């Protein structure tokens, strides 16, 4: 019996690139087993797992909040979470005394604002035709860089309108835990406008201790490089530096025993600026996102360039306002 060989798909002859590489170069329709899914007849293809993993890796590097926050994958347009704002009240009674009814726990619905994050890089068709060019690596790097830049800003100062609500965007108060409204972060004053007041080491200790003990396990500092440069020069009363550099490659530096995460979207030290955040961000900040990044190849709108329109739906907000504390550079 004669064996009929299947013809090679046009645009996918270079087997070293894989089917997705052929699609990126020429837009040829290929077998769906080389993909994780499709987005319909418009030509959009879900990114393969290899590329999606590379995007996530770069996002954690450029957008550090993603690496320390609680990230959940959602399969719909929205995400809801119930949070209790207090335990069940109880009381004491003698052996034969009546047991009156106690109050029930209160719940708050948390709905992180979501928006569609997009990137729209372009490349010439001549460059895509170069067999020696790593098309998949270039595509992952371009998309990850664009997404990380937007995410890093949104997770810290995002307005919450068609994008995540940043941890510095919500209301703040100097009131202690249990007395502030839900969703309001507590701040501690530095003691001077736009600078550290007397005994900055004591101010930082107060910031740490304002976070209750259950949250301090896994807590870290978040600040930008300019702020960390100033803190590295601070000494305690006995002449010891508060800052301890990491002794092993890849290990973060510590401040008073807690890791320091540098996020360049945090504000510089200035009057009334909340330039330092300390807390357990795994419990305090929630990121909700769809699991897939979708890419649409457009070779027609901007000849001779090929545009790759990538989208990802991301949301975020403060989930536990008692898990994060701020230092405000003000007198009070």
Going residue by residue through the chain, which has 332 residues, state the pLDDT in tens, using 9 for 90 and above. Answer: 555 555 444 444 444 455 556 666 665 544 443 333 334 343 345 556 677 777 777 887 788 999 999 999 887 767 888 877 766 778 888 888 988 888 777 788 888 999 998 888 887 877 777 656 677 677 778 888 888 889 999 999 999 999 999 999 999 999 999 898 889 999 999 999 999 998 999 999 999 999 999 999 999 999 999 999 999 999 988 888 999 987 776 788 999 999 999 999 999 999 999 999 999 999 999 999 987 778 888 888 888 888 888 888 899 999 999 999 999 999 98
- Give me the residue spans of the domains in the chain: 18-79+111-161+287-318, 172-280+321-328
Domain 172-280+321-328: state its class.
alpha beta
Between vectors from CA 317 to CA 180 and to CA 289, what angle results, nearest 5°? 160
Residue 196 makes CB contacts below 8 A (sequence gap 6+) with 190, 203, 234, 329
- Quick check: 92 and 182 in contact, CB under 8 A? no
In CATH terms, is domain 18-79+111-161+287-318 a member of 3.30.450?
A: no
């Amino acid at each position: 019996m004669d064996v009929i060989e299947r013809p090679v798909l046009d645009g996918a002859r270079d087997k070293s690139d894989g089917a997705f590489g052929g699609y990126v170069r020429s837009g040829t329709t290929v077998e769906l087993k080389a993909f994780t899914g499709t987005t319909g007849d418009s030509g959009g293809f879900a990114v393969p797992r290899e590329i999606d993993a590379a995007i996530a890796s770069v996002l954690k590097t450029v957008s550090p909040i993603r690496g320390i926050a609680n990230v959940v994958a959602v399969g719909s347009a929205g995400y809801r979470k119930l949070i209790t704002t207090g335990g069940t009240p109880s009381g004491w009674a003698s052996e034969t005394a009546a047991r009156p009814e106690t109050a029930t726990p209160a719940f708050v619905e948390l709905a992180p604002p979501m928006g569609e994050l997009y990137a729209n890089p372009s490349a010439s068709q001549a460059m895509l035709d170069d067999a020696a060019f790593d098309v998949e690596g270039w595509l992952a790097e371009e998309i990850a860089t664009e997404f990380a830049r937007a995410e890093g800003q949104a997770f810290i100062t995002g307005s919450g309108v068609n994008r995540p609500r940043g941890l510095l965007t919500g209301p703040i108060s100097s009131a202690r835990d249990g007395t502030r409204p839900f969703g309001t972060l507590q701040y501690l004053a530095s003691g001077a406008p736009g600078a550290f007041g007397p005994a900055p080491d004591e101010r930082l200790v107060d910031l740490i201790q304002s976070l209750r003990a259950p949250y301090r396990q896994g807590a870290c500092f978040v600040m930008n490089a300019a702020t960390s440069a100033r803190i590295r020069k601070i000494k305690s009363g006995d002449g010891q530096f508060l800052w301890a550099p990491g002794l092993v490659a890849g290990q973060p530096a510590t401040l008073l025993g807690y890791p320091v995460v540098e996020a360049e979207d945090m504000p510089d030290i200035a009057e009334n600026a909340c330039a330092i955040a300390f807390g357990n961000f795994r419990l305090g900040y929630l990121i909700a996102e769809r699991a897939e990044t979708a890419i649409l190849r457009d070779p027609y709108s901007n000849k001779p360039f090929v545009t790759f329109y990538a989208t990802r739906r991301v949301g975020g907000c403060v989930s536990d306002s008692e898990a994060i504390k701020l230092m405000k550079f003000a007198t009070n």
